[in-house]
Structure 1
């Protein structure tokens, strides 16, 4: 997914370009706009786009000055720049080329021109990704990780992931380049696992909607953990549902404060991955689910006349009785005593 910044001092032109980019149906995750070079430079420093479309003539800082300043910044080295100008002067085009500008377009521009340029930029980005990290390094990492997964060495897997992340960070990849690289790496890993011809693994990594580096790594690392746990379950001969195991563990320990990390450790999953898996499966966070189960158990106990409310509070894991009554009211709309009163229990 690619991020674009459009810079032009004319609101109508900015809006028009934005619309043309949206109509391309290409994998564009984000389109931002700026009205001059100063605004654009600040935005780029805060969040570098993959592609920059800029006008030449603008107040405060024009397009040429913006391009010049960007050449001084190391982290913009892989950013691709397109200049859109109403001037066909060769001198402008020559200066743009000296600043590493990829395309110099003359106004007015149409949908086809923009879409063709976008496809070219995306193709260039793909080439840059493949040359930024050597194939030899990728293959070496995939081979080591495949061996660690096959031998179920969780510590070694985490170590390899940490090292790989550091190596990729050194290349200062754009978000789209990083996603392409991780996707390629994951496919290579699956291929190596499948060559053992024991279990069949399916490559289904998706980076749809990923907008930050952290999200990309989280998706990749979660997918690796998924493979690890799938293999672990296949080796046991019968696959257990980790979420159902977690639910059972929570149910058995409602009387005390069970943490997400404790449950994740019990079922043998990475805490971050378990949190994401639990939310996707139940449509609730770990904490939301635990509170709901506690309140449902409290309601059943409140239906038993001889149970004191303070005892029920402790039974469902609330040593702080006022906290229990507050939570119960938030969940049911009434206090525990009011709940009993409705049932005719005094």
Structure 2
């Protein structure tokens, strides 16, 4: 049931529009009238309409200012501007405020019905889009990108099944579903390309799809082909993400590398990577990195030409006292004491 508000200072126009809209056949929940822009704005604040029909020239607040304020207040309200022939250029200025249609006086029944039909369609699209928020789409894309980059087919299929179930529950029209799937694909390729390792140029095209099943089939196939293509780019060598992480940590022990940085490097969500790393190594990321730093320090301490203060920097500790404290915690002795045990003065 749609709520409509008509704003016009001419009683005959108001009543005429009220009658034509009432006879349009559209399901109406309410149909209210206002004789100026200020009164219309007051009514909008009291009860939000779905559609607003407004004249251009009105006292107290004209139609242009009303459109501007409505756009700021609630841009989802669909606006139709009613204008005389001489106001045509003036009415066009309203387009920048999201006006969807304009009616030229004298108003015909056919024009009103066509305008309402357009508003109803836009309202339906708006409602369906509300079910697929940008944030939700980005979450799906992020998970899918991590699965593709780490060549985890099962994880990719899992997120695709989640996407399918949630979008099907929205009962989207085919045209909108195609838009969402193409947007998903575009964001995924964009995210993969930001890694600046391989060039991903293919894009999912669904303009010739005739059914929902065909859309899902092509969408899923395209993503699995993307993963398989990445395997080929890597010459078929499937890298274990934890081993890849270990190698990266080893190469950057002298730097303050974070879990998030390593996770991003190997293409995994930080939370998922943290759990996977702990399961595989039985250590947290920080525990593993610290242990490897101490083991590297012990090797360097066994070489007499290295000064202890230099070694702390070589294994990622800019603060020398912190290094000695950590070393003692892990080995039971200070770096100097460890050296003495090796017979190095």
TM-score range, shorter chain: 0.3 to 0.5
Scaled by the length of structure 1, the TM-score of the pair is 0.38
**Larger relative contact order (C-alpha < 8 A, sep ≥ 6)?**
1
Larger radius of gyration: 2
